[in-house]
Amino acid sequence: MENERIRTGISHAVHISTNTATGCRHCRFSIDGKRFEESVNHYVEEHGYKVLHIVTETDRDSPGQLRRYSLAVVGK
């Protein structure tokens, strides 16, 4: 991991997804998939992270229905 940090300049990365809900790793802010944009902006504005990647992914749930969700990776 140390060599990767030197090469990219990124030492902390967080993924935010509309598929899951978690808490901010720095404060009590609730990271909620229903508030995807607000969650990404929280890391950028409050903790100095940069957006590294945003993508839409597709997965199948247990009955086999397709589900789409957004995923962002932020880091600093």
Indicate the pTM of the whole model. 0.77
Residue % of the chain over a pLDDT of 70: 88
Per-residue tokens: 76: 């600093």
pLDDT digits (tens, 9 = 90+) for 18-43: 888 888 989 988 887 778 899 999 99
Which residues make Cβ contacts (< 8 Å) with residue 70, sequence separation at least 6? 17, 18, 36, 54, 55, 56, 57
Which residues make Cβ contacts (< 8 Å) with residue 68, sequence separation at least 6? 56, 57, 58
Query: What is 1-75's CATH topology?
Result: Phenylalanyl-tRNA Synthetase; Chain B, domain 1 (3.30.56)
The confidence score (pLDDT) of residue 38 equals 92
SS3 20: coil
SS3 25: coil
Cα 69 to chain center, whole Å? 12
